[in-house]
Amino acid sequence: MQLTLPQSEIWVAQETARFRNVCAGRRFGKTYLSTVELLRAATSGKNKNCWYLAPTYGAAKEIAWDMLIANIPEAYIVSTNLTALTIKLINGSTISLKGTDNGGATLRGRSLDFCVLDEFSQMRPEVWYEVIRPSLSDREGSALFIGTPQGRNHFYDLWAKGLSGTDNWQSFQYTTIQGGNVSASEIEQARSDLDERTFKQEYEAEFVTYAGLIYWAFDRATSLVKAEDDGGVLHIGMDFNIDPMSAVIAQRRGSDLICIDEVVIYGSNSDEIAKEIHQRYPNRQIIVYPDPAARQRKTSAGGRTDLSILQNSGFMTKAKKAHPAIRDRINAVNSRLKTGDGKRHLFFTENCKQTIKSLERQTYKEGTSQPNKDDGYDHMNDALGYMVEYLFPVKTDYPVQQPTRWT
């Protein structure tokens, strides 16, 4: 196996640091490095027990399984179990992929020699402190924390620990461009696509402070416009809450999205909001981007799901199979409000009074990277986010170039 120069620096550090923290930008090659590290640990002696942890079981399988299988020599493998995500090696060692769903409650009581915690910033802190750290004690095992930052949370605390010179801890920080997998031109394209704060976090691997307003890129002076309904297709973001049902109504104008109206109905249900939209905009082509939970959630009688109600009302619906990550929705909205190079592609008319108020007032919970939902400003922002993230997802799968590898 071959490593890039930055990956080699991390690899060599395992000789002197028991616990390593790697803060790196998107497409750095974190998963490849993780598989190499797992194989190194598993072949360092007999009967080693090595784990790769991701925020969920599904993520562990999707992100690392195929790459791990591809990079382990076939002669080393005795058996594989796709359901359990385990690989048995000829020396008696086992490599297992696990999800930390439910705070890792099902992972307790094991003895480990090595563990990779991929995207630790998206896991609960107790996964490390209460589950994995005790599991490393009897074998004096080691750990590699690796991921892209998500504010100054528990991942930041451990990363800072590695910078402070604490015994057995060492930290590294690399940008996407330093990883060598993405070209400079693609990095600049990302800079123009994303808002400044998102770009610094996702591509420059900076621990951006989450404090104050969530939608900091919104500005009345430049985000509000005078625009009329042009009679074209209506795009509607919708959040299903009995109190209130919330919808943001928009139209596309080239690369811009103009929000021209909103619907807020208290003590209501899906049938009533569908009726209200039809009354305001009869005989129109309408595409609704609902909360993905609409596939199961029911806010009306009769056992019908919210999604089926919208479809039976004549609306075309577009929703992802699962909720996009909260930060992906926030990043998508901020990136349309203002890109890293100062361009704006998301606008509002004065009709969107509740949406404007929500954008100006929703904040993060103190000391966290999670939105505050206690003040009621989340409903319109969630509705807007479902639509914007579906139409303009934050791009992370930029073309990968062949990096310079070091043997």
Sequence-distant (6+) residues with CB within 8 A of 401 are 180, 181, 182, 183
Helix-helix angle 30-42:5-13, to 10 degrees: 40
CB burial class (10 A; 0-12, 13-18, 19+) of residue 137?
Answer: exposed
pLDDT higher than 70, residue 403: no
Would you state the pLDDT for residue 406?
40
* Top-confidence residue, 131 or 179: 131
- The pLDDT tens digits of the residues spanning 9-42 come to 888 888 888 999 999 998 888 888 899 999 999 9
* Domain with residues 5-202, CATH architecture: 3-Layer(aba) Sandwich (3.40)
Would you state the pLDDT for residue 2?
78
- Distance CA(289)–CA(238), nearest Å, equals 6
Give the confidence band of 294 by pLDDT, cuts at 50, 70, 90: low
As a whole number, mean pLDDT of residues 167-175 equals 90
- Distance CA(325)–CA(302), nearest Å, equals 31
Give the residue ranges of DSSP H helices in 207-366.
Answer: 220-223, 270-280, 306-312, 326-337, 353-361
Would you state the pLDDT for residue 400?
45
CATH of 220-391, one of 3.50.70.10, 1.20.1630.10, 3.30.420.280, 3.60.21.10: 3.30.420.280
Would you state the pLDDT for residue 178?
87
Give the confidence band of 210 by pLDDT, cuts at 50, 70, 90: low
pLDDT higher than 90, residue 315: yes
Q: Which contiguous run of DSSP H or E holds residue 391? A: helix 378-391
- Distance CA(78)–CA(365), nearest Å, equals 49
- Rounded to two decimals, the pTM is 0.61
Give the confidence band of 398 by pLDDT, cuts at 50, 70, 90: very low
What are the domain boundaries of the chain? 5-202, 220-391
pLDDT higher than 80, residue 282: yes
CB 269 within 8 A of CB 245: yes
75 DSSP assignment: G
Domains 5-202 and 220-391 share a fold: no
Which of 98, 145, 96 lies closest to 119, judged by CA? 145
The shares of helix, strand and coil residues in the chain, as percent rounded to the nearest 5, are 35, 20, 40
